[in-house]
Structures are given as structure tokens and as C-alpha cells.
Structure 1
Amino acid sequence: MHNASLISNDFMDLVYAGRCDAESMALSNITGKIVLCNAPAEAKSTPSTVALWEAFKHTSGNGAKGLIFAQHTTNLLEGLAGIEHIMPCVLVDFEIAQRIISYGNSAGSPVVKFSPTITVVGDGVLSPRVASFSSRGPSPSFPGILKPDIAAPGVAILAAQGGSYAFKSGTSMAVPHVSAVTALLKSVHPDWTPAMIKSAIVTTASVTDRFGMPIQADAVPRKLADPFDFGGGHMNPDRAVDPGLVYDLDAKEYNKFFNCTIGLVDGCGSYQLNLNLPSIAVPDLKNQVTVWRTVTNVGPMDATYQAVVEAPAGVVVSVEPSVISFTADGSRSTTFRMTFTAKQRVQGGYTFGSLTWFDQSSHSVRIPIAVRTVIQDFIADTS
């Protein structure tokens, strides 16, 4: 419930008004009543924020005293800011809405009472999870580069606003978290390049929550998050300070990439695949593709790492060499190749996996992988 002070403790009549559009309002007497708006069939085509405000406009304009709005689980609480001083509003998922509808059908005169909001903290909160409004991959312009890179806290963050504070959400809230971690890593490792810092953040990120369960992503409906939702995962500053291995990249390589973007260099597709990023995206696997990467040891001088692959569905993946070793008097960097082979000839969608380098101690260096099998270029699976 939002803003419980606006209503009394008395039960009020409940009306189910379907989509709560103008037509539904014309068929319902909602004056002085609480209205349930539930339109699951339209949820995938109409954003929740738009549907909520349309429902609010029609219900408040027809004299309703409160609104129960059914939606897929998304981050909508801040969207209630303009409603809270006009009428109380409760957000529920479609399953709870159906239970309310069943109650209404069985009761002769259904009634409802709003109670104050309950705040849940600690282990009872499903977090981290990816916000519904978060930017998703793949990149249509450069599908050979996996985006996003990383996920960071960006929902309901207490932020400075004017001479006070307010809860804000979005990229503007997530970026300061990443920037702060970047600054801390630079203070600990002043000789690291920007690419090394980025790699440390991406390769040590978490893809599970505090219970060891996969991170979820608010969507339509909620789903398990994948690299197009969170890149390497949810950043973990404590692990990022000691990543073991990093994927370094000379700044000049970015200049070459820029030249690709403006058409000054040929063969950009292959160049994107082999840019030494802490991720791999293969957007057009027809038969077989080989991708090269180089890792640099920033951990103990004497170390051996074993490759562990989680292959994307429908793809066979090999790593050569699968074991890499570093010594005090040897090179700090080594190059390996990954070969991706399609198991079936289809015009398919993306599937996801990962490559993780493990040493004998505490280092686990993980990069996300996204692969899409295709039959031929410029043929889309649109059916």
C-alpha cells in the first residue's frame, strides 16, 4: 500500500474493472470504491509505467478511492510519486490479482482494506537482481562485442538532490558505484591500465545471490539473468582487488576499433571477435569460429590455471591450451584460443556460457560468452 494515511481503517467496496480503460469504466460503478486493474494479456505490449498511469487516470477521474494495480514484477515504486498524494495505490503481481478476483467472485459483496507498507530488510530481500528498466544486450551495431559489461546497484539509491536527499534509480545511480570501485582499484594498483581495472571488475563479478542462487532479472515476466542482462554479473569489489588474471588491452586498439566504426578498416567483424575484452560474443556461428584472448598474471608469480568451460547450448567449445602456467622468471602474459563449433545447422537465437580460469588457491577468473548460430547472413528468425 502506498500512503496509508489517506484512508481509514474501514473496509471499502472492491470492484474488478479489468483493463481499467475508458470502456471498462463506462461499464463499472467505481465511485467511492477500491478498483482492481488486471490486464495480463496486454502486459507484454504495454509498458507497466504507461498502463499504471492510464489506470490511475481513468479510476481517479471516475471517483475511485483507491487502486490495486496488477503487473509483472518490475521496479515501479518510484512511479507512484505522483499518485501518492491523490489516492492510495497497491502494486501486486498477476497471481495475487487472480486470488483477489477469485475472492471477489465467491463473495457477495467483496470488500478490501489497505494496510501500511511493510519494509523487508536483510535475507528476506531478493537481491541483487537486474532492474526491469536496465539496458540490455546485444548491441545491434557491434554484436561481436558483448554488452553490458557489468551490473551495479542502481535502484532506489539514496542520492543528493539540491540541499537534501532523494531516492533515485537508473544508470546515473549505478555509474557512481562503478566509478568508486574503479578509483579504489586504481589506488591499490596505480600501475594498472583502465582495461586491467575493467577486466578485474568483470571477471570477479557474481552471478549468484547471497544464497548461491542464480541472479534474477525483472522482465516480462521475471527470468534468470543472462550476460545480456548483467554482463559479467554483479560487481564484487572485494574480489576485484585480487583478480589473479586480467585481460589487458592497449589503448591503441581502441583507436583501431573506432576506425572500424567509421568504415576506415576492413575485416572489422573478425577484429571485434578478437579484441582482448573480458567477454566473448559470437553473433554469426555458421560452422566454426576461433577466438583469441591474452591473459596477464597479476597474482602470485608462480601460478597454474585450469580452464573450465560452460558451453552455450548447441555449441561445442574447446580451449587451447587448457592449462596455463606462470613462473617468476617467465612471461607474465599468455595467449589462448577458443574454438566454437555449431552442433546443429539452424537460424537460432543466442545461448550463453562462460570460461573460467581456476588456480590452486582462491582465484576464479570468469568471462561471459554469448553465441548465436546462423545459416547465412541477412536471414532472420522472425517467425
Structure 2
Amino acid sequence: MPVAKIEPADSITGKEVPAPKVAIFSSRGPSIEYPTILKPDIAAPGVNILAAKQDGYVFNSGTSMATPHVAGVVALLKAQHPHWSHAALKSAIVTSASTKDEYGMPILAESLPRKVADPFDYGGGHINPNGAADPGLIYDIDPMDYNKFFACKIKKYEICNITTLPAYHLNLPSISIPELRHPIKVQREVTDVGEVDTLYQSSIQSPLGVQIDVEPPTLVFNATKKVNTFKVTMAPLWKVQGDYTFGSLTWYNEHHTKDPDSSPDHNPRFLCGCCVAMQKIT
């Protein structure tokens, strides 16, 4: 007589690997044409993604798999915040991204040799939809500013006052300096989209060989003051030719604190994190 035995189910997943991780084929920065604009902006799932094709399904990898994830997040954010501009949506995604893997360790990048990922690998980090929905502060940009910085090439027949300022003066949630020969000061404007009556304090992690100062170190928002500006001064500490080094400027308030040991389910909210890339050249 046949005998059946019922046992608890086991999930077989194979060898555990840290995730997320930047794939070896993923495009890297810096931007060759515009090195003063940090690229890439964000990282998203793009390896072995189940995708539909004409006669069934297939696992695919690449930008074509990662892009729909970001597009979906943007659609959800736009539905929740219909008045946000494109720049505001991008800012929310970039500044809320995670730089830790599922074990709370720094995200790795597949390369030769393998290394800890940096902003030239993943931009702001791995996309975090829940964090992007409530970023606290956003960096917004007037569309006309793009046209000015790109010498009126976007809309040639539109009235435009050409500026000679480099693109790192755009109100982006990042700063990229390809040749830091002398102190440089940039200004950023942030808009409070979170709770009313909040106070944000700055926390600086300076790149190796670079001193960063922020003024003011504290931003105060209330019902009548929703926008604040701050200035960041970056100065080389020594004259030596070197590669890019990275740091960050993070704004915190009492409701959003950084926990270095946070698990993926409790990611710290890197409010307005400015990734700073600098190259020291004599």
C-alpha cells in the first residue's frame, strides 16, 4: 500500500549572495561630456528580471530591465504628489536611495577587482520607493535654468540669458567637481515637503583630502517659510594629482535620524544627501 509523508516545505535558493550589487556591465561615471554633473543618478533592479516576450517569458538583464522599475516609481510618486516637477521627483528618488545591502553592509560593485560601490557606480544609491514618497526636502529646478546652463541649445528660439557658470551650480541633489584646484563655493536651495515647523541639522562626511564647510549648518522651516538656501565651500587640503574621492552632506531632523546599523526594512533616510566628487590636480 502506498505511503505518503508530509513534511514542512523548504525554500531552496542556492548560495546566498549580498544584494543589491552593481552589475559588472552597468554603466559607470563620470560623464565624459558633462563631468560637472554627477552620473549615474540612481541604481535599480536590472539583473535576471522576469520579462514578457511574444511567445512566453524570459529572464533579461540590462538598462531595459532597470528603467521600468524607476519609471514605475516615478508614476507612483506623481500620483501621490501631482504638483511635483520632474526635478523634484528626481531629487526625491536620489536623496532617499540606499547605499547599504540587505545585510546592512555597503553595496558592492562587480569590477576588476571587486570593490565597495561609490557614486560613480550607483549615483545616489539603490532606489527606495517608500523613502522617495516622503523625502523631507527636495531640490527643485526651474526648467529655464537648464537652458541657461546649456547655452540656450535646448530651445534656440526662446529668450535666454546665457550664463558662463559651470553645471555644478545647477540646483541638483549632488555636486561634482572634476578639477578642484582652489576653494569653490556652490549654493543649493531646498524646499520642505514634509512636516510643518521642522529643523534640519547638517552632517558632513568630507572626501579624502578635501575640506567641506556648510553655511548655515541648520535650516529652519515653518508654515510661511518652506524654502531655504545653503552654501557649500569645498577646498583642497593638499596639492597632489589624484583620483576622485567622495563624501556627503546630509540633512537630519528629529524625526529622521541616521542609524548605521539599520536593516533594509529600516533604512536611514539620507535627506538631501549631496554626493561630492572631486579630483585634486596641481
TM-score range, shorter chain: 0.7 to 0.9
Cα distance in 2 for partners of 1:232, 1:367 equals 9
1:364 to 270, 277, 281: 270
Q: Which has the larger radius of gyration?
A: 1
- Partner amino acid, structure 1, of 2:280: T
Superposition CA RMSD, Å = 1.9
Instruction: Give the superposition deviation at 1:267.
Output: 5.6
Q: What residue number does 2:129 align with?
A: 237
1:49-88 alignment, distance < 5 Å? none
1:274 to 169, 182, 192: 169
Tell me the matched-pair count: 254
Extract structure 1 runs of 4+ deviating beyond 6 A: 260-266
Instruction: Give the superposition deviation at 1:163.
Output: 2.5
Instruction: Give the superposition deviation at 1:261.
Output: 6.6
Q: Within the alignment, does 1:217 sit opposite 2:109 as a pair?
A: yes
- Partner amino acid, structure 2, of 1:176: P
Cα distance in 2 for partners of 1:346, 1:197 equals 38
Q: TM-score, normalised by structure 2?
A: 0.86
Q: What residue number does 1:137 align with?
A: 29
- Partner amino acid, structure 2, of 1:158: L
Cα distance in 2 for partners of 1:357, 1:228 equals 22
Instruction: Give the superposition deviation at 1:257.
Output: 3.0
1:336 to 217, 230, 234: 230
Instruction: Give the superposition deviation at 1:125.
Output: 2.6
Corresponding residue SS for 2:166? helix
Higher helix share: 1
Cα distance in 1 for partners of 2:215, 2:172 equals 18
Q: Within the alignment, does 1:312 sit opposite 2:207 as a pair?
A: yes
- Partner amino acid, structure 2, of 1:120: G
Instruction: Give the superposition deviation at 1:232.
Output: 0.2
- Partner amino acid, structure 2, of 1:146: L
Q: What residue number does 1:325 align with?
A: 220
Cα distance in 2 for partners of 1:256, 1:266 equals 5
Cα distance in 2 for partners of 1:258, 1:120 equals 50
Work out whether residues 273 and 281 of structure 1, in 8 Å CA contact, stay in contact via their aligned partners in 2. Answer: yes
Cα distance in 1 for partners of 2:95, 2:127 equals 9
Q: What residue number does 1:249 align with?
A: 141
Cα distance in 2 for partners of 1:258, 1:273 equals 12
Flag structure 1 segments of 5+ consecutive residues without an equivalent. Answer: 1-117, 376-383
Structure 1 residues 162 and 257: CA distance shift in structure 2, 3 A:
farther
Q: What residue number does 1:204 align with?
A: 96
Instruction: Give the superposition deviation at 1:266.
Output: 6.4
Q: Within the alignment, does 1:299 sit opposite 2:191 as a pair?
A: no
Flag structure 2 segments of 5+ consecutive residues without an equivalent. Answer: 1-11, 257-268
Work out whether residues 295 and 335 of structure 1, in 8 Å CA contact, stay in contact via their aligned partners in 2. Answer: yes
Cα distance in 2 for partners of 1:319, 1:194 equals 26
Work out whether residues 202 and 367 of structure 1, in 8 Å CA contact, stay in contact via their aligned partners in 2. Answer: no
Higher relative contact order (CA 8 A, sep 6+): 2
